[in-house]
Structures are given as structure tokens and as C-alpha cells.
Structure 1
Amino acid sequence: MTTTTTPPPIITPLPAFQPDLYQRAWASIPHPTLPLLATPHATSVTIFSLATLSKHSTLTGGHERSVRTVAWQPGARANQPRLVTGSFDATAGLWSYDGSKEKGALEKEVKFSGKDGGEGEEEEEEDWEFNLVLEGHENEVKSVAFSPSGQYLATSSRDKSVWIWEDMGGSDDDGGEWETVTVLNEHEGDVKAVAWCPDVAGRASLKGRYSADVLASASYDNTVRIWREDSDGEWVCVSVLEGHEATVWGIQWEPKPREGKFPRLLTHSADKTVRLWTLRQEEEDEVEEPSRNPWGAIPNTMRRELKEEWVCTDVFPQVHSRDVYSAAWSADSGMVASAGSDGIIALYAEDATQQEDAQMGQGANGAVPPTSRWKVLGTVSDGHGPYEINHITWCKRFDPGTERKGEEEMLVTTGDDGVVRPWQVRIP
């Protein structure tokens, strides 16, 4: 008699972060280098330790209304991380942490014994300082994102605008000095998300035409816009990505692009789809030519006419039955994970044997390509029980359950139930 062995599941739950927040939580953002995870909920942000899977500290008192989004500032000193929060009070707040007072403060363990900590909760010194408020938006701030260097901060809002701020330096003790660089007003609906292209190989392929920094914004108007700074120092929209049939909830740039290629862009929407967009590059753009002047004798009035063509080269196999609120792309494995309103967690992998070039002409203007290069590796239903999953992210493991601290990856989901849940991922 032949016996078959059922393979282990691709995605399995790990013990949840403690304590439960007992209120809707919007996202969990890992620090790029430190074992920390920031989760906004209500008017607060809870910082969890990835070493202990428990609360490290809390940011309170900075905002009058719900904190919906957070981002860590790159380039901050290791023992003094900095964080920006975006709130429904129409402001963004800058916070700094002074971990120099206590050795190992960034990995300390705080134990709890009840719903709100209760008796037995260790006393913790609050070392987070609320340094600075950035004001200008007329309505709720829905997304915040730092450029790779940390020099620029982008904020987006229900007022349909994207603001770009620049860190002008100054004292870390007071958050430094920030100036408004520009306000972008081309979206016709709430701007739900902003994301800067990471500083990876391939990003500079069009550097001669524009600055190296590239910003993408997603909106309730069902579009994504690509923004670059031109040679006159003005930020211009170089492309509008159309194809989604409902709100684009979020965007993520390819964290590890293919050699010689500009990073692709991942989008996910209320239309239940996850899409992948690719910049159509001319041959002369494949390799940067530093000595060539791309502007030549082109008049200033024509420079803004130079546009980029972005093509929808993939629509992922449909798994979700409702809005896809979040998707995350792993720089290590190349896998993509998605989650959303239906409580499903899905994991995808790209089939490198299929040729993208054959699809480059098929997906123009958002049209669905004939085939997908991506396949579904596994799914989990009811990842947070009956509650919606608002966010999913890849995160390095530092907990005692891994033998490869700081190397092995896990998924972390955040839901309406106030639970921040890690998941072990088996790479097939």
C-alpha cells in the first residue's frame, strides 16, 4: 500500500506579541536595523521588541486623534532611533528615543500579567520624546514615508495632496529643522499611500534625466502616480498608472530588482487584485552614461513633457474575495505576501522561467496580461479570526524560537482585533 505524506503548511502561526492591544491596530513597521516593531493604534504607538515578542515602550501624548501610520527615519544613530507618526489630527509628529541611558534598552523585556499590563508589569522609563509637529495638511494624514537617505519625508492626506519635507539638520534633541519642499496636488481623491523607491542597484538607470529619488503615490481615484525631481529642482508627475478599478490601498517598490532593470512597483486594491508594474526602458537607459547631458539643447518648456511609460506586466492569481489592504515583498526570498478585508493571508512566488518581455506589450494601460508569472504557494484563512487584517510585513526574527537571529524572516500581521501576530514561513 502506498502512503502519502502531507507536506507541512507553508505559513504557521507563532505566539502573538504581548500584550494584546484590545483595539484596532493599523500596521506594524519594523525598524530597518534594530529589533523593534512600531504599531499605531488609537492615539498611541506601541513599540514591540522582536527579541522578546513583548512591549518595549509606548508613544503617547503627541496627537489628539487616531495615529494611522508610522515610519522609521533611516540614518539615525543606532541608540537614538527616530520615528514619524501620521495622525487624523492632520499633523505628522517627529519622535526620538534616547537609549544611551541603559545598556540593552532597545532589547529589554517587559512582562505583563493582564489585559492592560496589570499588577506585575515592570516599571519602564519612557525615553521617547515628541520633538516636532509638521503642519500643513487640511485633513487626516494617511501615509508617511522617508526617502532612502532620510533627507526627505513624504506625507499624504485625505485632502488629496502629497507634501514633501526636507530635513535641514539641526539638533536631534528638538527634531531638527524641516522645510516644505513642494506640495503635489494632481490626485483627484484621497491619497492613501506614498512610497519611495529604495536605494538599490538599478535605481540610477535614469539618474541623468531626473534626480535619484523617486516617489510613488496611491489614491482613492484608482490611480498610482510616479514623481521625480527634474533638473530645475521641481517635482513633476512623470507617469499615471491606470488599471485598478477601485481604491489603490497601497504600493511597494521591488526591494531587490533584476540586474540592469529599474525596480518594479507592486500595487494592491479594493478591486481584490495585486498588480505588478514595470518601467518600459529604452536601450540607452539600461546603462547610465554619466558623461552624457540628457537635456542637450531641449528648452525648459519641453523638459516637463518627458514622460515615462509604466506597463502592468502581471496581475497576481486572485485569492482574495474582498479588498486587499496590504502586500509585502521580501528582499531575501523574493516572495510576496498579501492580506486584507477577508482575513486571508496569501503567499506568492515568481516563476522566473516565464519571459516578461513577451508581456511588455500586452499589459499597456493597465490591461490584464495573458498569463501571470506568479503562483500561489499557500494561503491561511481567518488569520485573525473574524477580523479584518489591516497590514502584513516581512520582518527579521530575533526571538528565542529561531536559530538564525537577524537572518531568518517571518511575516507579521496586524488586525482589527488588536493582535500583532507573527507567522513562520517555510520556503518550499
Structure 2
Amino acid sequence: MPPIITPIPPFQPDLYQRAWASIPHPSLPLIATPHATSVTIFSLATLSKHSVLTGGHARSVRTAAWQPGMSAGRLRLVTGSFDATAGLWSYNSDKDKKGLEKEVKFGEGEGDEEEEEEDWEFNLVLEGHENEVKSIAFSPTGQYLATSSRDKSVWIWEDVGDGAGPGEEDDGGEWETVAVLNEHEGDVKAVAWCPDVEGRVGMSGRYSSDVLASASYDNTVRIWREDSDGEWVCVAVLEGHEATVWGLQWEPRPREGRFPRLLTFSADKTVRIWTLKVEEAEEEEGMTNNPWGGIPNTMRTELKEEWECTDVFPRVHSRDVYSATWSKDTGMVASAGSDGIIALYAEDATPKEDVDMESATNAAAPATSRWKVLAAVEDGHGPYEINHITWCKRFDPGTERKGEEEMLVTTGDDGVVRPWQVRIP
């Protein structure tokens, strides 16, 4: 029997206005949903509002990202807005340790309904973009923050100071701009850092271990790395999508010894997988720690990376695919978009035979795919578009495996944040 996707009662309250995304915290039972000029933080334990962040931005908040880790018990969230800024918020749990420990950390969610929203403080504004900030993402360590914008640029910021001593309130710390990347020819819709997983260091003999990908209105994806001179360079341009690339996600648990693959989704109604090509000589001999030596910049083009589109998912969507999410636990992928469809896919574990690229309908894509459609739900948010979908751990009373079982969470133009149970027979 195929998997069954069934709705769970939605998060409360309804927001009654377009909501852009819902971003789960990497370790705590919290999920952040930007809408209008606010961000509502929901508790995954109660499926209800935990707190609301307001007053930080003059225009709509488009995106959000949690900074990894909880240094000294502090919680940080960065928001990106149509006002062209990114803002850093901190939750100072020292004010209400009982509330944070009970409701958030352990997921009890009872007895602390009157959470003081002033515990969230708007600490810092990052300015530089000329137009609205479309996407933000933290590197695995939280040291770097990437922001992308309608102004066609990607900015990389570095957290260079904690800004608060033991027992002091978090003031946001000190941030510096380390790079401004201007090679895209259209709005940069999304950025994503390669996760800190086994195999990620694969090409670090040439560059640092941090890897950033960006998706654009120019129909391309670019891969960025920091070279030995401390400069962020584009090492690959992924071409194949025939319309805006709305977003991307790195493979959360790559195959043994392989560099993580990249998942992209587009206005061309497709979902694609991209794989880094590694030369056999590199695999056998390894990389030197400093291959640049005294080589001038003009000769470094030969060290560019080569990526190929290795899979195009079976066509399910009839309009733009706005979002897709890759499960670390099961390896399944779910997608959603303008047509209101929620689709679920799984990869066939059997090796795929070599594909004759000349016979493919698109020279940048394989003719067949290992990925199969497992289930599809139509009108997931009624007549409204679905802007975002994500895998998320369950902590609500409806699960017997709190913090272990996964669910899907979708966010739509109707202002509803809706969880979905995925049952695998």
C-alpha cells in the first residue's frame, strides 16, 4: 500500500493573511512563520501560538532562519523583509527560565499560556541590500549568514562577537560583511548552505568546507565557496531549469562517501536533483591542502566544479513548484506549489542504468528517473496557493513517539499553517 497523507488539526490561531513559510527550529519544538510585518512562533507541543515578534520591520517579513545552537541558553532568529533589511531577534530565557525550559525545551506546553512576548528582543539590523530580502540561511556552525535579494545579490555576513557576557542579555553581537556576490542576472530567490554531514569536505582541498548555493530568477543555480585567499567565488553554474528556480535544499543525509546532492524546484513545474562530478584521479589521490600555491587568479578557472542534473522527478504539478523538502530520516521528498498539490516521492534504491543523454527531451536532464510518486493530495489549502512545505518532528499529543516521528507542515496564502501525518504502511 502507498503512504497515506492525512491532515492534522491546523496550528492555532489562523493568521488570516498570506504566510510565506514555516521554519522549524533544528532542535527545539518551535516553528517560526513570517506573515505581514510579524513572525508568529508556534509551539510544536501544543500546535498553538508561543509568541509573536512585531515592531522590527517596516514592511512584510518574507523569510526567517534560526541561528544554530543555544549559546548560554539564548535563542536567536533572523528575519528578512521587504524593507530590504535583515533583523536579528533574541529570546532571553534568563528572564523566564521556567517558561523556556518547560514549554520549549521539553515540549510540555502546559501552564505557560501567558508567555511574555517582550522576552523576544529586536537587537540588530543588517543593512546593505537595495531591495527586499528574499531568503536567509545560516551556515552549519552559525558563523556565517547568507542573505539574498531582489537586487540580484547575495551577501555573506559573519558573526564576529557574542556581544554578551555570562548572565547578560543578548544584544545581537557584532556582524561584519565578508562578501557581496553579484553574478546572478535576476532576483536571487533562495540561498542554502550545505549541511555539516559526512562527505561534505569532499572538495575542501580546493576551498573551505563551507558551501553555499543560490537560486535565481535567471533560471540558474550557483555554487559558491571560499578560496584560500578568503574570497568567495562561484565554482559552478547549474543550468537546466527553463524558468525561475524558486528554491533549493541540500541532501540532509548523503550516500556513504559521496558529496551531498542538491534538490531544486522551479516555475517550470519540475523538481530536479544535481550531483557533483568528482574525477576518479581526485578520489584515488585526494586533494592537497593548498593547491593554489602561487597560481594567479586568471588560471583558477580550471579548478571549477562540474555538476550534472542526475534526476528529474515525475511530473505532478501543473503550475510553479514553490517549495520542496528532503527528509533526513526517510530520504523521501515532498513538494508543493501554486496548484495546491502536495506530492510525496521516494528514490528507488536499485542502481540506475546509464542514460543516453542525447535521447533525453532536455539535454540537461536524464531521460529516466529513480524517483517515484508515492502519494499526492489535491487542494491542500483549498483554492489557495501553498508557499512552503517542510518536514518537522512531532511533539503534539497525537504522536506516541515525540521528537522522533516526522510530519509535513504546509504554509499558504490562506494564512493557515497546516500539519500533515504521513503514514507508511
> Is 2:396 the counterpart of 1:399?
yes
Name 1:102's counterpart in structure 2: 97
Contact 1:260 1:287 in 2 (8 A): no
How much has 1:364 moved relative to structure 2?
12
Q: Which residue of 2 aligns with 1:377?
A: 374
| 2:160 matched residue in structure 1 | 168
- Secondary structure of the residue aligned to 1:126 is helix
| Offset at residue 366 of structure 1 (A) | 5.8
Q: Which residue of 1 aligns with 2:136?
A: 144
Q: Secondary structure at the match of 2:202?
A: helix
Shift of 1:174: 1.4
What is aligned with 2:12?
18
CA distance in 2: counterparts of 1:281 and 1:52, whole angstroms: 46
Deviation string for 1:335-369 (max 9, x for gaps)? 0000000000000000010327x249678996221
Corresponding residue number in structure 1 for 2:76: 82
Q: CA deviation at 1:426?
A: 1.3
Contact 1:14/1:424 (8 A) holds in 2: yes
2 CA distance for matches of 1:248 and 1:266?
Answer: 11
- Rounded Cα–Cα distance in structure 2 between residues aligned with 1:45 and 1:360: 48
Q: Distance in 1 between matches of 2:99 and 2:144?
A: 30
CA RMSD of aligned residues (A): 2.2
| Aligned: 1:209 with 2:201 | no
Shift of 1:109: 4.2
8 A contact 1:280–1:308 mirrored in 2: yes
Question: What's the secondary structure of 1:81's corresponding residue?
Answer: strand
174 and 332 in structure 1: CA distance in 2 versus 1, 3 angstrom threshold = same
Does residue 135 of the first structure (1) align with residue 132 of the second (2)? no
One-letter code aligned to 2:98: K
- 2:201 partner SS: helix
Give unmatched runs, 5+ long, in structure 1.
1-6, 112-120
Residue 286 of structure 1 aligns to a residue whose secondary structure is helix
Alpha-carbon distance between aligned partners in 1 of 2:364 and 2:87, rounded to the nearest angstrom = 40
Deviation at 1:188, TM superposition (A): 0.5
Match of residue 308, structure 1, among 297, 305, 309: 305
1:12-56 deviation digits (Å, cap 9, x = unpaired): 111100000010000000000000000000000000000110000
Indicate if the aligned counterparts of 1:260 and 1:286 stay in contact, CA closer than 8 A.
no
- Residue 103 of structure 1 aligns to a residue in which SS? helix
Q: Distance in 1 between matches of 2:163 and 2:116?
A: 26
State how far apart, in whole Å, the 2-side matches of 1:29 and 1:110 are: 23
Q: SS state of the match for residue 298, structure 2? A: helix
User: 1:219: Cα distance to partner?
Assistant: 0.4
1:303 is paired with a residue of what secondary structure? helix
SS of corresponding position for 1:405: coil
Q: Which amino acid is the alignment partner of residue 138 of structure 1?
A: E
- 1:269 is matched with 266
Query: One-letter code of the match for 1:88?
Result: F
In structure 1, what residue type is equivalent to 2:145?
Answer: L
Q: Retained in 1: the 8 A contact 2:411–2:418?
A: yes
2:32 counterpart of 1:35: no
2:195 equivalent to 1:198 = yes
* Structure 2 residue 415 is the aligned partner of structure 1 residue 423: no
Q: CA deviation at 1:283?
A: 2.1
TM-superposed deviation, 1:290: 6.6
Q: Residue 336 of structure 2 aligns with which residue?
A: 339
- 1:301 is displaced (CA, Å) by 3.2
Specify which of 240, 244, 253 is matched with residue 243 of structure 1.
240
SS in 2 for 1:139: coil
Question: Residue 364 and residue 387 in structure 1: after superposition, are their counterparts in 2 closer, same or farther (change >3 A)?
Answer: closer
- Name the SS of the counterpart of 2:282 in structure 1: helix
The equivalent residue for 1:114 is none
Name the amino acid aligned to 1:143: S
| Residue in structure 1 matching 2:350, options 337, 348, 353 | 353
Kept after mapping to 2: 8 A contact 1:344/1:381: yes
Aligned partners of 1:242 and 1:366 also within 8 Å: no
Tell me the distance in 1 between the aligned counterparts of 2:257 and 2:139: 22
3-state SS, counterpart of residue 264 of structure 2? strand
Are 1:154 and 2:151 matched, yes or no? no
Change (3 A) 1:69 1:377: same
Q: Distance in 2 between matches of 1:389 and 1:349?
A: 21
Contact preservation (8 Å) 1:242, 1:365:
no
Mapped pair 1:45 → 2:42? no
In structure 2, the residue matched to 1:322 is: 319
Contact 2:265 2:271 in 1 (8 A): yes
Change in Cα spacing, 1:417 to 1:366, as seen in structure 2 (3 Å) is farther
Aligned residues: 413
SS state at 1:318 partner = coil
- Partners in 2 of 1:69 and 1:259 — Cα distance? 33
1:129-173 CA-to-partner distances (Å, cap 9, x unmatched) read 000000000000000000001000000000000000000013142
- Rounded to whole Å, the distance in 2 between the matches of 1:265 and 1:411 is 20
Instruction: Give the corresponding residue for 2:167.
Output: none
3-state SS of 1:368 partner: coil
Q: CA deviation at 1:76?
A: 2.8
Tell me the secondary structure at the aligned position of residue 299 of structure 2: helix
Distance, in Å, in 2 between the alignment partners of 1:125 and 1:341 is 34
Query: Which TM-score applies when normalising by structure 1?
Result: 0.92
Confirm or deny: 8 A CA contact 1:206 1:285 kept in the other structure: no
Aligned counterpart, 1:68: 62
Cα distance change on mapping 1:365 and 1:215 into 2, 3 Å: farther
Q: Distance in 2 between matches of 1:298 and 1:167?
A: 31
The alignment partner of 1:249 has SS state of strand
Other structure's SS at 1:167 match = strand
Alignment identity in percent? 82
Label 1:79 to 1:189 Cα distance change in 2 as closer, same or farther (>3 A). Answer: same
Comparing 390-399 with 359-368, which one deviates more in the overlay? 359-368
Q: Could you say which residue in structure 1 is the equivalent of 2:278? A: 281
Residue 99 of structure 1 deviates from its aligned partner by: 1.9
